[in-house]
Structures are given as structure tokens and as C-alpha cells.
Amino acid sequence: MQLSSTKEAVAETQTPSGEGAEGMSREARGSRGVPFAWQIVFGACLVVAVCLTAAASNENPYPGRYYLTSVLSGKCLEVAGWDNQEFVADKQGANVRQWDYVGGGNQLWEFSPLGGSQFIIYNVYSGMCLEVAGWDNGRFVALDQGANVRQWEYVGGGNQHWTIEALSDDRFAIFNAYSGMCLEVAGWDDGEYVVEDQGANVRQWEYLETDNQRWTMTLVP
């Protein structure tokens, strides 16, 4: 799996019936005696059925825009708007953290289905996707416990793909497809308990079934 941070033809036929059908030549029938006109119809129906099945299997169960709230803190997932007095909400690599929900576009997310229960999660404001950082100071970290989560242009990497697991009480766990770890609000930072703090960092971690690893998803009208 790549890592980032870098019709149907519709044939008009006449259905033969009666004596005319019995008199059709061998050349006008298929190798098994089925008229070519019917073979075309059957083929077209098969194509339609396959297309409808594929479309149904890739139907988005989460249409629209959502804000995601940490079950433990009650704060929402957002792309940081400012960093050291610089506006960064639309910047490649901007950090993802928790913050009080105020309805900003940087706090809203859209889910794009990939099939097989995997999604790309796009930030509404920037149009970039949620990803686990692939590299940090020249070191490969995408599989590391505690690797940072940020936004990045979508390039198809597995670290940009996520699996949504529905839990009880309308809660969800969100797993990175590349690492298998879950999206969580950091519990501690330099020995300080921060999991309920405004601006606490979001990262990936082994799933321990704790509430800082669980989210609610609220559809925005």
C-alpha cells in the first residue's frame, strides 16, 4: 500500500415470436442455440446489474458534513486555525487537535467512501484530508505509537485512509488503515494530564477502548 507525505451499449431488437422464430437460420443463433438478439439483451442486463451492485456497495453511509466530538472531553476534532499568530488552517501539514465546537469549516468533515468500509476524511475548510504523518525529521513514523495526525493533500496513501467502527450508543472508533491504530486525543503531554484541555493534540494510538479514543459524529444541517 502506497504511503503519502509525498455502457453499456443498448441494442434495439425485435423479439421474434411464432413461426418466424422457429424459422431463424443457424447463423442468427448463438453457439448454444440462443438468438444473438437475446444474447445482447442478456448481456446488457448483466452489465446493468453489475453496475447497480457496485454502486450500492460503494454508497456513502455518512453523506453530508459532520463534526466529530471526543466522548471524553466533549470537544471536537479540528484543523488548527492559527499557529504562532500565523493563519494555518489551509496549510499543508497543519496540525489536528481538539477544540470547543464553534461551527467553523475547519471543524467540519466529509467522508468519501473507498469501499470495504474505508473512507477518506476531508476537512471542509481546506479540502485536505486527515492523515497520520508519514515522516518526522527524516524518520519514518507512520507505524509508530503516538504518530501525529494532521491534514495533507490527498495522494492515495494508506495513512490517509480510515475505517469507521460503530460502537454502542452512537459512538465510533476511527482506525487508520495503514497502521491499524486509532484516532485519539492525547491523554498526557510531558507528564501533564491534557486530555480534556482546549487544544490537546490528536494522534494515533493502540486501541484501548477508552473514551478519548471514541467519537460521536453529528450531521450538520
| pLDDT tens, position by position, 13-66 | 333 334 343 333 444 444 455 565 555 544 444 433 434 444 445 799 999 999
Beta bridge partners of 98: 77
What's the whole-model pTM score? 0.76
pLDDT at residue 186, as a whole number:
97
Q: Quick check: 148 pLDDT over 70?
A: yes
**Residue 144 DSSP symbol:** S
Least-confidence region, from 11-25, 50-64, 101-115, 167-181: 11-25
Q: Please tell me which residue, 117 or 67, carries the higher pLDDT value.
A: 67
pLDDT at residue 8, as a whole number:
35
Nearest to 117 by CA among 51, 166, 156: 166
Q: What is the mean pLDDT of the chain?
A: 83
Beta-carbon count within 10 A of 42 CB: 11
Sign of the four-CA dihedral 120, 124, 127, 133: negative
Confidence of residue 11 (pLDDT cuts 50, 70, 90): very low
Sign of the four-CA dihedral 87, 90, 94, 99: positive
pLDDT at residue 116, as a whole number:
86
